[in-house]
Amino acid sequence: MTAVTRLVTYTDLHVGATNARQLSVSARLEAVLADGRSVVLLDDRGWSTSGPSGMPALTSPEDIEETARTVVGPDEPFDGMTQEQMAAGHWGYLAGVLGEQGVDVAAHELERLPHDVVLSERLRAWLG
């Protein structure tokens, strides 16, 4: 059985929805395994933001990285749930996705892994 070594969120521009006043980004969270394979954990995340003209100059790679880590979870509490409950549910779900792929890992172990964010070439070009 192989171990999970880190998490990586890959970000890319939503082409056609991004211009000098608006940024739209997709985010895909993957688990990287010790044997070199990757398992997609979430592929339905992203965000959009708008602002003044010249947004590329006002947006840093660090801004993108921080937002990417936020949008891949855990989500903010709702319906009376606590942050701890939301986190437990999130990490438990991700551990379940990995379990379906034959990777046995505890939810609390996933939470402690390094989490890198990779910006696509298109996104880096948009930032300038």
Q: Are the CB atoms for 57 and 33 separated by under 8 Å?
A: no
Q: What is the DSSP letter of 26?
A: E
Q: Where are the domains of the chain?
A: 4-127
What's the mean pLDDT in 20-49? 95
Model confidence at 118: pLDDT above 80 = yes
Q: Please give the pLDDT value at position 2.
A: 85
Measured at the alpha carbon of residue 91, what is the angle toward residues 118 and 98, in degrees to the nearest 5?
Answer: 75
Model confidence at 102: pLDDT above 80 = yes
Q: Tell the burial category of 14 from Cβ atoms under 10 Å away from its Cβ (0-12, 13-18, 19+).
A: middle
**Residue 91, token pair as written in the block:** 């990490």
SS percent in the chain: helix, strand, coil, step 5: 35, 30, 35
What's the mean pLDDT in 104-125? 96
